[in-house]
Amino acid sequence: MTITRFAPSPTGFLHIGSARTALFSWAYARKQQGKFILRIEDTDLMRSTEESVTSIIDAMHWLGLDYDAGPFYQTQRMERYKEAIQKLLDDGKAYRCYCSKEELDVMREQQKAQGLKPKYDRRCLHGSTKKDGVSPVIRFKNPETGSVLWDDLVKGKIEINNMELDDLIIARSDGTPTYNFCVVIDDLDMKITHVIRGDDHVNNTPRQINILQAFNVPMPLYAHVPMILRDDGHKMSKRTDAVSVMQYKEMGILPEALLNYLARLCWGHGDEEIFSLEQFVEWFDLHGVSVSPARFDMKKLLWVNAQHIKIKSNDQLAVMVKDAFKLKNIEIEYSQIDLIKVIDLVKPRVDNINNLVTECAIFYQPDIVTEEDKEKHLTIDALAILKKFAAKISQIEWTIEAVKLAVKEFCAENQIKMPQLGMPLRLKLCGETHTPSFDMLVFILGCDEVIQRINS
Ligand code: GLU
């Protein structure tokens, strides 16, 4: 059975790039009808926090990336790692190293002076430098010859000569296992078949494969997916970019739109731009993931979001709008104005949920007209026109066609252009001049409400 995992380090929120990795890992498992595991890599005690774990899990939940097992915590598996390290020591595949930092610095300087690539020279391999009172680190005895080869499901064949690889420290002097070692044991114990992760980990892979081989176990398949960069090609940064998934929620992005956008950033299915998560799972294939880094484009994301807002049913959007109204203390329970009609009118105009809420809100809680608008558009003449218009619509049957016709006739009868009615009318009805088509606005508000607002 296919088993994939997402293995975030809880040192902050869920990063947008990590969300993309999680999505690919999740989708691959779902497509293969396998399992998707969540593993929290919290061995860096200085930087890992409980809040980060919570915020990562919340973000996964918001995105709808459900997992079949976990969250597993590395800090709860320490005994297992220690036992595995002991096995390597017993088998002569790892050794204790007593070298001090100073000693290693001198060694490196000497190697550099000789034009060599700095690499641990194994002086402790035979225990000859054992020092009393010094707690040793434990190093993995990397093979000296041959090479590590794997067929990356995204990047293709990769081969690294073992000469290039150092004897990795797998346990610190206080006995705690190091990151690369924990990952290997976890992937092994959790029977991971496909390691799908960011290509910033590609350098770890040969080391991890060598450790797996030291245990004589088969290795999983690897897929290293490209980084997501800013649109100028630089790394995204917390200071200048929205890098946390939940920031996108706050911006009014729908989770399905964010996932659609992230999927499309480094993968494609013909010309398909807009798709559901179900469609993505059906189409997704690791071989289709691009090798080159992706560039984040906020405008494109908003466009994708606008398409998903249009696809969403009015009922679903109404639930979101009502929740937002509650927070803003906007009362709609006793209103005659039908929220579903309002949403239907507004939704083609917006590219995020916050704007949808704001535009819907003006139907229920008109904005205060600014002095500037008042002077410019609500002149005595304009007010007189509005009063006449109120009289006209009080006579008609209330259908959208009749409202549209009444507007047309009214302008013709009074020899005015559409904006001469539209501008003051919009202001009176909503408090602002940028509203959806005003005949729809009039229709949805209803005859009594329109007349009342004109006369207010
Ligand atoms: N914990 C690593 C990270 O957050 C992921 C390691 C892996 O997927 O193997 O980048």
**What digits encode the pLDDT tens for the residues 205-232?**
999 999 999 999 999 999 999 999 988 8
pTM (predicted TM-score): 0.90
> Do 94 and 125 meet the contact criterion of CB atoms below 8 Å apart?
no
- pLDDT attached to residue 128: 62
> How far, in Å, CA of 134 to CA of 140, rounded?
19
Cα 417 → chain centroid:
48
Examine the pLDDT at 445 and tell me if it is beyond 70: yes
For residue 13, CA distances in Å to 5, 17, 50, 224, 308 come to 18, 11, 11, 22, 25
* Max avg pLDDT among 113-117, 146-150, 238-242, 440-444: 146-150
Closest residue to atom 3 of ligand 1, CA basis: 8
Q: Where are the alpha helices (DSSP H) in 64-114?
A: 78-90, 101-113
Quote the pLDDT of residue 44: 87
Cα separation, 320 vs 228, in Å, equals: 30
* Digit-coded pLDDT (tens) for 11-47: 989 999 999 999 999 999 999 999 999 999 998 888 9
pLDDT given for residue 240 in this prediction: 76
Cα–Cα dist 57/232, whole Å: 30
Q: How far is the CA of 198 from the centre of ligand 1 (A)?
A: 8
CA distance 405 to 454: 19
Mean of pLDDT values over 407-422: 94
Question: How far is the C-alpha of 260 from the C-alpha of 254, rounded, in Å?
Answer: 10
Closest CA to 273 of 286, 288, 263, 284: 263
Atom of ligand 1 minimally distant from the CA of 5: 8
Distance (Å, whole) CA 313 – CA 355 = 17
How far does the centroid of ligand 1 lie from the alpha carbon of residue 194, in Å? Answer: 13
* pLDDT confidence of residue 6: 98
Can you give the pLDDT at residue 243? 87
For ligand 1, which residues put their CB under 6 angstroms from it? 7-9, 41, 183, 197, 201
How sure is the predictor about 422, in pLDDT bands with cuts at 50, 70 and 90?
very high
Are 120 and 104 contacting, i.e. CB atoms less than 8 angstroms apart? yes
Whose tokens are 């997704």? That residue is 284
How confident is the model over 123-132, as a mean pLDDT?
A: 77
Reading the block at residue 146, the tokens are: 């041959």
Query: Dihedrals φ, ψ of 273, to 5°?
Result: -105, -35
SS3 38: strand
Mean pLDDT over the full length of the chain:
93
Residue 414 is predicted with a pLDDT of 94
Is the separation of the CB atoms in 67 and 6 below 8 Å?
yes
User: Phi and psi of 50, rounded to 5°?
Assistant: -60, -40
Least confident of 85-89, 97-101, 251-255: 97-101
**Probe residue for ligand 1, chosen from 4, 9, 42 as the CB with the greatest number of ligand atoms within 8 Å:** 9
Q: Enter the tokens of residue 377.
A: 């558009």
Distance CA 418, CA 404 (A): 11
**pLDDT tens string 376-389:** 889 999 999 999 99
Question: Do residues 153 and 286 make contact, with C-beta atoms less than 8 angstroms apart?
Answer: yes
Whether the link from the prior residue into 366 is cis, omega within 30° of 0, is no
Q: What whole-number distance in Å separates Cα of residue 34 and Cα of residue 4?
A: 8
